[in-house]
Structure 1
Amino acid sequence: MGRGTAVVLGGSVAGLCAAGVLARHFDKVIVLERDQLPPGAEHRRGVPQSKHPHFLLNSGRRAIGEIFPGFEEALIAAGGMHLMPSMDAAYCENDGWAPRKSGSMTMVYSSRVLIERVLREKVRELPAIEIREGVTVTGLRSAGGGTVSGRVEGVEYRADGADEDYLPADLVVDALGRGSSSVDWLGAAGWAAPPERTLDAKVTYVSRWYDLPPADRRPESWWWRHLVVTPTQDTGDHPEEHEFLSNFFPIEGDRAVVCMGSWGIDMPRKADTFEAAVDRVRATAFGQATHACTPTSEVHLTRSTGNKWRRFDLLDVPPVGLVCVGDSICAFNPFYAQGMSSAARSALILGEMLDGRDALDPAFFREFLGRQKKSLDVPWMLAMARDQAYDFATGSEVAPAWRRRLAARLSWPIFNAINATSREDAYVEQTFAQVFNLDRSLRQMAADPRFWFGIARYKLRQRLGRTVVPGGFDERKDPPGTDFTGYTGPADAAPAGSRRGDDLVGT
């Protein structure tokens, strides 16, 4: 404490996490939020993404838990569900339903609006934090813009129905999201614009909210809580819905968010076309589950999915007195569920630096940008690995044609091999889970000889017919609920009728 006043622009997940960290180091933390914040778990204008599924990755769970002790417990008490995806979710992969078995990864499932409600409750427990609602930020005020002695000194804003006002600050945190105008405000004051890295793979997705049927009226085949259907890898003629990545995503209150998305395909926008599309998803259980539920919302569409990284770390003279977190610094394709976790990780870095430094001088901000860049490299590389494979992608990070062809040819076979190997090799399964949860980088995984040895060994065993856990359960039938944890095989001795082409469904 004792550093004066910090001002946070934006009261969403990124801003609230930053405020929680700053409350330990500043006498006063003021959060300026344009919306009037709802008392409960409700949608609001400033977070249009709240209408779609949100995964809180393990690294994000831990980071938020460090910032707000007891967060996960409070989220579960409010209705969030602590589940093991490999046991509680049914995954339709390239060759059909994946086997159900225990894994190393767990997740807390809930809506984005519930996550924010619990975070707001945690923030309001901290006396140093004041949230001012109905406030529009109109600019940054600085001195010596673009010079080595320049500094951001405060924030210009306008409260509802009031004249423009000014709030001096010892530190400003920009958590205004993709639409942040900080770069423009800084440019008007003499600061150089940061280089931007961009890639837009034309991802569009649509979601609709549903009430589940009462527990005693759900089909016996609903052992699962979460359904995932990956895009087909079939290059032949098929309905375009086979190209969708589809989620039947469980949230609190016995509800689900049904979401379908694609790369470069127009998505259904009306209720009737949405309901028709779920029947054409390649796994028939997806449409059946959707129709068994009661819709409670319209169809919500999102096309603002481009990846964009404002590289303040590359500036010769980065702005002192300003830190950007969340989408205001690096916005990802939301399909990869990296945003909330990356924002919380940036907040933790800020907190660690405030713990160890007294002066908020140029060296402090340059070091923060360097450490933040290292953290953001991890999710950015994952996003690029998929989105760079598309010929219709646009932006500064479009890959050369040869690399796009290579990615298109190899990405799915490698992904399939990792998934299959994970059924029988705990090291491969844990390593891939760490990468998915941003605890390990794609580069580290690619350089791990044990990881690739595991995959090579599995492929050899597969060729010799010595694999243990079966896969490829018929996607035209219900996902089998058999628990293959500890199954000793061989794979071809799996329950009768469970494999693609059999007449019965394994149980």
Structure 2
Amino acid sequence: MSLGKTAVVLGGSMAGLCAAGALAPHFEEVLVLERDELPADAEHRRGVPQSKHPHFLLNSGRRAIGELFPGFEDDLIAAGGLHLMPSMDAAYLERTGWASRKKSSMTMVYSSRILIERVLRDKVRELSNVVIREGVSVRGIETADGGGAQGRVTGVAFSSDKVGDERIDADLVVDALGRGSSVSDWLVAAGWAETPVQTLDAKVTYTSRWYDLPAPEARPAAWWWQHLVIMPTQHKGEHPPEHEFLVNFFPIEGGRTIACMGSWGIDMPRTTDDFVASAERVRAPLFAEAMAACDPVSEVHLTRSTGNKWRRYDKLPQVPSGIVFIGDAICAFNPFYAQGISAASGSALILRAHLDEAAASGQPLDQRFFKRFLAEQRKGLKVPWGMAMARDRGYECATGTETLPAWQRKIVAAMAWQAFNLITGAAREDAVIDEHFGRVFNLDESMADMMKNPRVLGGLVRHQVRTMLGRRTVPFGFDAQQDPPDTDWTPEAVDHPIEMAGTR
């Protein structure tokens, strides 16, 4: 059953494309309005400046996109995406040194943002009833009975250099205009109440530069790894600011990598000379050595628009009918936590399920429909939002509605690291905790649900007791000034357990 003649998606980035996939089975035509001229290949564009930085496609996101667009993951890998197991293919520097290398249940697909988007655009263009209008600026929305019990968004006003001003009636509109969306302001102008907004900006800034990797046969013998991660120090003494950086040497398609450094509340390098100099001062020399072995192919790209922002449309006294909100247009996250694409595609999957139900039951897309959708979307967004709050609230530099009093902030900061250390330490030796932590990282499970699991709690207590007795079986804390060891510490790959009393 068709739910209407026309659905309009505002914005053609990842969130908008996923929304188009959710809408296509239920409307005669889906029109995507995009300001940029979209490249045919994997190329950067003005509307997605963050494409120049690493993008993790979390498993919940890759699964959601795969449900909306069957074959997406295969197409991404065929286009050059790398299917890797981070615990075996990443060198990971944690609080005291290099972590152990071992097999785990979690795999990921690594690629650039521009490749992910290009593959997804190709999948959208296979849908016969989806039309992407490029070079179009959305100017406003058309409404009826704004703010009233029957208030509804009925259409969209837009313009282009080629055609000029236009408007179109819509049975459903999707706001996928990102952080800077003006839709909430347009709704207020039309008569709806101002949307409550929750914010927390931990002043995250990150800077990246792209490199060509050496040919595989020309790489140093010690490069067993493909992904390099250096976590911020937990040491409170004197050290260079770069020790506070979160560092990634992130593999992408085409034999390339993205060198990225980011921080909370610290000025980041903007020039190539400063970028290289800062890299030489991070906690492990391997990062700068790896950069020096590669050929730079870009300038330095810096981003600082990274605050968490949740527009709480679900709290409006009268929810507008005829419109839903996807991606950063409703909930934007600190990009450090790699939650944006997965949250957006998850919302699109929820939208498809609600549209499927409406089509099957013959129910109209009235205010009850939009209230139910917002309530279900809220449940999905609470998981990534809670994870972002748990970390960003601990920073003194943070501002916004969700900041804490100083005494609470200090407790949160201390507990966040302690909890992280305990869980990651236990995950090295406990396959159940490792699997649950992987699910939390990939937004398949909330941290709260993980910590309610009796088996997880028991495993954490057991690990803590064994640590106190010096009976850990997997080493860690290997010297950060040396190359990370390539030993496979997967239990079945180790001849016998060892006592770890002398290991940090």
TM-score (norm 1): 0.96
Aligned equivalents of 2:498, 2:200: Cα separation in 1: 42
Aligned equivalents of 1:180, 1:338: Cα separation in 2: 19
Describe the SS at the equivalent of 1:198.
strand
Match of 2:449 in 1: 444
- Per-residue deviation, 1:488: 5.7
Aligned equivalents of 2:116, 2:303: Cα separation in 1: 20
Contact 1:10–1:31 under 8 Å retained in 2? yes
Describe the SS at the equivalent of 1:69.
coil
Letter in 2 for 1:185: W
1:35 paired with 2:36, answer yes
Match of 1:322 in 2: 323
Letter in 1 for 2:155: G
Give per-residue Cα distances to partners, 1:121-143, cap 9 Å, x unaligned: 00010101000000000000101
Within a 5 Å distance, the mapping from 1:346-425 to structure 2 comes to 346-357=347-358, 358-425=363-430
Within a 5 Å distance, the mapping from 1:33-432 to structure 2 comes to 33-357=34-358, 358-432=363-437
Describe the SS at the equivalent of 1:27.
strand
Describe the SS at the equivalent of 2:27.
coil
- Per-residue deviation, 1:95: 1.0
- Per-residue deviation, 1:427: 1.1
- Per-residue deviation, 1:36: 0.3
Describe the SS at the equivalent of 1:164.
strand
Aligned equivalents of 2:484, 2:44: Cα separation in 1: 33
Describe the SS at the equivalent of 1:165.
strand
- Per-residue deviation, 1:431: 0.9
Contact 2:207–2:261 under 8 Å retained in 1? yes
Letter in 1 for 2:440: V
The percentage of counterpart residues that share the same residue type is 63
- Per-residue deviation, 1:171: 0.1
Match of 2:497 in 1: 490
Q: Which runs of 4+ in 1 moved over 3 A?
A: 488-494
Letter in 1 for 2:164: D
Match of 1:504 in 2: none
Give per-residue Cα distances to partners, 1:240-288, cap 9 Å, x unaligned: 1000000000000000001000001000000000011111110111111
Extract unaligned runs of 5+ from structure 1: 501-507
Aligned equivalents of 2:472, 2:495: Cα separation in 1: 9
Letter in 1 for 2:384: P
Contact 1:466–1:490 under 8 Å retained in 2? no
Describe the SS at the equivalent of 2:55.
coil
**Corresponding residue pairs, total:** 497
> Which region of structure 1 is more displaced relative to structure 2, 38-47 or 156-165?
156-165
Contact 1:467–1:489 under 8 Å retained in 2? no
1:470 paired with 2:471, answer no
Letter in 1 for 2:75: A
Aligned equivalents of 1:492, 1:268: Cα separation in 2: 43
Aligned equivalents of 1:20, 1:58: Cα separation in 2: 19
Aligned equivalents of 2:184, 2:236: Cα separation in 1: 43
- Per-residue deviation, 1:499: 6.5
Letter in 2 for 1:375: G
- Per-residue deviation, 1:414: 1.5
- Per-residue deviation, 1:452: 2.1
Contact 1:41–1:113 under 8 Å retained in 2? yes
TM-score (norm 2): 0.97
Contact 2:56–2:338 under 8 Å retained in 1? yes
Contact 1:468–1:488 under 8 Å retained in 2? no
Aligned equivalents of 1:488, 1:234: Cα separation in 2: 35
Contact 1:326–1:340 under 8 Å retained in 2? yes
Describe the SS at the equivalent of 2:479.
coil
Give per-residue Cα distances to partners, 1:349-404, cap 9 Å, x unaligned: 00000111131000000000000000000000000000000122100000122221
Letter in 1 for 2:247: S
Extract unaligned runs of 5+ from structure 2: none
Aligned equivalents of 1:381, 1:126: Cα separation in 2: 35
